[in-house]
Structure 1
Amino acid sequence: MSFISDAILRGVTGAFITNSGVGKIGMPAEYSAGIQQAAATGIPALAKLPSDKFGTWLGYAETAIGASLLAPFVSNKLAGAALTAFSGGLLSMYFRNPENTEADGIRPSQEGMALSKDVFMLAIGLALMTKGGK
């Protein structure tokens, strides 16, 4: 059963992230700058990167993370670590922008709903890292 659960966790998540990444490669500079600005709310150092290339670089990174999840020769621990780091960055954008949460700072506002779902990717990444085996 472990193989089937691994295939489901890794396959669905990997395909989703790969598709998202491929869609960002070669994006127009104005869209790239907008994504960079949003990303910098969670990780301020990202604001120092060239804004016209940020979206493409992010696209390559997402594609690589998705591919690591889809590649059966990449261990669960390594693929899970990549997914955990990526989703942690997305969740930092969620928690560092007060517009994304209700007054309690946890529950998503309407604006934060798209990012709040990334908690599922964090859970999948942590599960892959901790389950052991290939």
Structure 2
Amino acid sequence: MKLSHLPLRLASGAFILNSGVGKLSADEGTAAWLQESATRVLPRLGDLPAEQFAKLLAAGEITLGSTLIAPFIPSRLAGLGLAAFSGCLLTMYFRTPEATQEDGIRPSASGTALAKDSWLVAIALALLIDGSGKKKKKKKN
């Protein structure tokens, strides 16, 4: 992991890890709300019991958050996981009509919390683009 990736990985990883830990104790109403939101992206998620979905989501977030924080995980791999996760979050944002203004892009007052996930996409792209950590050595003649 490059030193320049540390702030990106720690900030996003800690945020996602904390979110996952919080979902471990989701009550029935919260679990149902999370599941309903997720079905905007993947409708088949509605086939699961809401409590089971919340536990799976929590486990996924804990895994992703831990992956981002772990320095031995390559940045490109961590970035790939973050890109998939944050892409789903942005898809949910764009498929929630009340989250955007009339133009369908800019966030409404109630959509700002979802729109902030665009930062996670930007972090994922930075990790993917700059994640190889390998530099070509110049040959000295």
Q: TM-score, normalised by structure 1?
A: 0.93
Q: Is the 8 A contact 1:84 1:126 kept in 2?
A: yes
Structure number, greater radius of gyration: 2
**Residues of 1 paired with 2:26 and 2:111: CA distance?**
23
How far off is 1:48 after superposition?
Answer: 1.6
Matched residue SS, 1:108: coil
**Residues of 1 paired with 2:51 and 2:29: CA distance?**
7
Q: Is the 8 A contact 1:25 1:57 kept in 2?
A: no
Q: Is the 8 A contact 1:42 1:94 kept in 2?
A: no
Report the counterpart of residue 133 of structure 1 in structure 2. Answer: 133
Q: Which letter maps to 2:82?
A: L
Matched residue SS, 1:13: helix
Report the counterpart of residue 46 of structure 2 in structure 1. Answer: 47
**Residues of 1 paired with 2:51 and 2:16: CA distance?**
21
Query: Aligned residue pairs: how many?
Result: 133
Report the counterpart of residue 31 of structure 2 in structure 1. Answer: 32
How far off is 1:30 after superposition?
Answer: 2.1
How far off is 1:41 after superposition?
Answer: 1.7
Q: Which runs of 4+ in 1 moved over 6 A?
A: none
Q: Is the 8 A contact 1:14 1:67 kept in 2?
A: yes
**Residues of 2 paired with 1:96 and 1:86: CA distance?**
16
**Residues of 2 paired with 1:110 and 1:47: CA distance?**
27
Report the counterpart of residue 77 of structure 2 in structure 1. Answer: 78
**Residues of 1 paired with 2:51 and 2:12: CA distance?**
27
Q: Which letter maps to 1:20?
A: S
Q: Is the 8 A contact 2:2 2:133 kept in 1?
A: no
Alignment gaps of 5+ in structure 1: none
Alignment gaps of 5+ in structure 2: 135-141
RMSD: 1.4
Q: Which letter maps to 1:65?
A: L
Pick the structure with more helix per residue: 1
Percent same amino acid at aligned positions? 47
Q: TM-score, normalised by structure 2?
A: 0.89
Matched residue SS, 1:112: helix
Q: Is the 8 A contact 2:89 2:114 kept in 1?
A: yes
**Residues of 2 paired with 1:53 and 1:126: CA distance?**
31
